[in-house]
Amino acid sequence: MAALPLIVFDLDGTLVDTAPDLISALNFVLEREGLPAVPLASARKMIGAGARKLIERGLEAEGRFTSAEDVTRLTADFIDHYADHIADASRPFEGLEEALDDLAAGGHLLAVCTNKLEWLSKRLLDQLGLSGRFAAICGADTFGVSKPDPAILRQTVGRAGGEVSSTIMVGDSGTDVGVARRASVPVIGVSFGYTDVPIAELKPDRVIHHMRDLPSAVEDLSVPSKLRVSP
């Protein structure tokens, strides 16, 4: 990598602990359908593939399968409620802002590539005072594709003014490792996010357990001889 890498982040479970507000919105929808609320601890693993998939997983957890039309209706209700409560309890993971400061001071561009809708992502990051740190914030609706489709990562990189050949992905789940592998981009996995498979088992290039460790992991992966990228 001749240039300093662009660092592209997943959002939910990587930058921000959004589970409390996401599951609160999920439970709002479930309770309106006469279903019991899902516990936060177990529901955290349902997050990561967008609002519609979260609704489907929430219904399945209660043993209920419904029509695509009903899922669409419930997803719209979920988004309306979630948008009004998007940062009630969501907070950046410990050490995030210091890590972003270090990366920016070192000359790295930063971007967000998420399966959350773009406008919701921007609203969340705005309310947390984080939006200005990122050269691009792209969601599942930005380009019409979602992770792990590599097009969303490649186009996020382009919008941020970077190059795929000098990009590192940071995420918490299989969709993040998958999109990085498909785009031939090295990936750092965080162990504190939302996944039903431990991040180490997904074999990212590096695993970190706290955001304080991110700058050193980025520095390590910025040395070409240390990259291990699958085609």
Tell me the per-residue pLDDT of 218-231, one tens digit each, with 9 for 90 and over. 999 987 544 444 44
Tell me, yes or no, whether 137 and 54 share the same domain. Answer: no
| Of 68, 67, 45, 69, residue with least CA distance to 58 | 45
**What is the value of pTM for the model shown?**
0.89
User: Is residue 218 assigned to a domain?
Assistant: yes
- Are residue 126 and residue 142 in the same domain, yes or no? yes
- Apex CA 5: angle with CA 137 and CA 110, to 5°? 25
Domain count, the chain: 2
* 160 inside domain: yes
Establish if 231 belongs to a structural domain. Answer: no
Dump the DSSP string for 56-93.
HHHHHHTT----HHHHHHHHHHHHHHHHHTTTSS-EEP
- 130, 26: one domain: no
Claim to verify: residue 67 and residue 103 sit in the same structural domain: no
Q: Are residues 127 and 148 in the same domain?
A: yes
pLDDT mean across residues, the chain: 90
Write down the pLDDT at residue 2: 45
Residue span of the structural domain in which 199 resides: 6-17+90-226
Question: Could you read off the pLDDT of 124-152 as tens digits, one per residue?
Answer: 999 999 999 999 999 999 999 999 999 99
Concerning whether 220 is annotated as a catalytic residue, the answer is no
Q: What is the CA radius of gyration of the chain?
A: 17
Q: Are residues 109 and 181 in the same domain?
A: yes
If asked whether residues 101 and 209 sit together in one domain, one would say yes
160 in the same domain as 46: no
Q: Which among 10, 12, 21, 205 is annotated as catalytic?
A: 10
Tell whether 166 and 99 lie within a shared domain.
Answer: yes
Nearest to 5 by CA among 79, 111, 89: 111
For residue 131, the domain's CATH number is: 3.40.50.1000
7 in Cβ contact with 218 (< 8 Å): yes
